Amino acid sequence: MKFNLFLPTGFGGELASFSDPAEAAERVIQLAKTAEAVGFSEVWLPDHLQTIPPSAAPVFEAWTLLTAVARETSTIRVGQLVTGNGYRNPALQAKMASTLDALSAGRLTFGIGAGWYQADYDAFGYEFPGAGQRLRELREAVQVIQSLWTDEVTNFSGEFYTLKNAYGEPKGVQQPRIPMMIAGGGEKVTLRIVAEYADACNLMTSPAEIDRKLQILRRHAEEVGRDVSTIRVTATTAALLSGTDEEAQALLHPSMGAFYAGDFASYLLYGTPETVQARVKAYEKAGVDELVVGFHHATEPDAIREFAEVVGL
């Protein structure tokens, strides 16, 4: 199993202690460089416009920051976990992605989701339709994006998006196209879209629940004639190494339930090295190919180095 780093952009208030935004940006880049140096395979960052809950603390725009990260690193892959479809027109997203793939010499994984944080939409003047519409928009968006990456000319007429004789050049570096990750565990619609279009998926839940959802994904893949083994399985988790499990888990906050389902204290990587190693193995046994790790001490490079030693990178 590979390990990825979830970079802080300020969404969780991680950058509130920085008075200088340039210093905060440099720290994020330093974290990415540290992950590259110790053997992480990919860095991801979230796409949000303000903190949760909303505050005056800084939050960097995802695509701009990721471009800087890509140019300041050389081997580690980069991606969004995930870009919100409702924030930008998908044709523009395709163009941004192909440009970033060129700037990174073919290291981008394009992550996309239907969007969920209504506070962003309300604050910045975006329409926030119901979940059903947002998922229908996502289905159309991934078709538009992939066409612009592969077809000479894109013509598309959908419920939400229309393209007429659109040339998507450059198409990026990677062949046959930039890989796409679709995040979300919705069993009827989201995982169906994953089966139809995605090169990777992302889940944020317990290993047992991941195992169950992958069985559903497998059924969707069979129905659309897809080999499920061609879909890279990633899972997002959080980590804090400590001398005792109790010490680490005392720092878990109920608000984390907004991201991690169920009894997250029983499966997040909070605890002694032995506990963390056992929980990593549980993710691997569930079928996870790559574990995306966000650190409790999100801006500390030493947390990345210590974790890398514990998991044997």
CA–CA gap between residue 112 and residue 93 (Å, rounded): 10
> What is the per-residue pLDDT for 202?
98
Calculate mean pLDDT across residues 152-180: 97
pTM of the model as a whole: 0.95
- What is the per-residue pLDDT for 298? 98
Please give the CATH number for the structural domain made up of 2-233.
3.20.20.30
Residue 45: closest CA among 69, 79, 68: 79
Residues 93, 62 contacting (CB under 8 angstroms): no
pLDDT of residue 190: 98
Give the per-residue pLDDT at 65: 98
What pLDDT is recorded for position 184?
A: 95
* Span 177-182, average pLDDT: 98
What pLDDT score does 309 carry? 98
pLDDT in the model for residue 235: 98
**What is the residue-averaged pLDDT of the chain?**
97
What band does 28 get if pLDDT is binned at 50, 70 and 90? very high
Spatial separation of the C-alpha atoms in residues 236 and 260, rounded to whole Å: 9
Band (201; pLDDT cuts 50, 70, 90):
very high
The DSSP line for the chain is -EEEEE---STTSTTTT-S-HHHHHHHHHHHHHHHHHHT--EEEE---SS-SS--SS----HHHHHHHHHHH-SSSEEEES-EEGGGS-HHHHHHHHHHHHHHTTS-EEEEEE----HHHHHHHT-----HHHHHHHHHHHHHHHHHHHH-SSEEEE-SS-EEEEE---S--SSSS---EEEE---TTTHHHHHHHH-SEEEE-S-HHHHHHHHHHHHHHHHHTT--GGGSEEEEEEEEEE-SSHHHHHTT--GGGGGTS-S-GGGTSEEE-HHHHHHHHHHHHHHT-SEEEEEESSTT-HHHHHHHHHHHT-
Q: Per-residue pLDDT tens for 252-311?
A: 999 999 899 899 999 999 999 999 999 999 999 999 999 999 999 999 999 999 999 999
* pLDDT (0 to 100) of residue 85: 97
Domain boundaries, the chain: 2-233
Buried b (16+ CB within 10 A) or exposed e, 60-69: bebbebbbbb
- pLDDT computed for residue 209 by the predictor: 97
The position carrying tokens 């993710």 is: 283
The single residue listed with the structure tokens 């981008």 is 108
- pLDDT tens digit sequence for 33-83: 999 999 999 999 999 999 999 999 999 999 999 999 999 999 999 999 999
The confidence band for 250, taking pLDDT boundaries of 50, 70 and 90, is very high
Q: Whole-angstrom Cα distance, residue 216 to residue 195?
A: 10
Other beta carbons within 10 Å of 152 = 9
